[in-house]
Amino acid sequence: MAQRKSGETTNQTKTTTTSKSPRKKQFKNDTPVLCRSVTHGGLTYLGVNGMRYDWGGYGDIREIPYQDVVSLRSRKSAFLYEPWLIIEDKDVMEKPEFARDFKDMYELCRV
């Protein structure tokens, strides 16, 4: 209890805020992930689900499902390891398995 000059008393409540760590984005198999072509000329990828994804040329960006991005990584596909595509989704690239494999490579591609 704090006392005012006039003799009145007031209740003071101390408010504390806790900072929560930001929640990591959750990915489902069909979560769209932006991928940019770094290949001159057209590029086509046939996804796990049988869908066809086309990029017209260097710099084109398309969404492909997260399950396809995971599949490309697990198969060490040239699409990601040459690379022909760059993953543009920051949340995907912050996942340890992606950061470990691609961080240095992608820095070189962005120069």
pLDDT band at 101 (very low <50, low <70, confident <90, very high): confident
Q: Nearest 5°: phi and psi at 49?
A: -85, 5
Q: What is the pTM of this model?
A: 0.71
The ranges assigned to domains in the chain are 27-109
pLDDT band at 2 (very low <50, low <70, confident <90, very high): low
**Mean pLDDT for the stretch of residues 38-61:** 95
Residue 17 pLDDT greater than 50, yes or no: no
Alpha-carbon gap, residue 103 to 26, rounded angstroms:
20
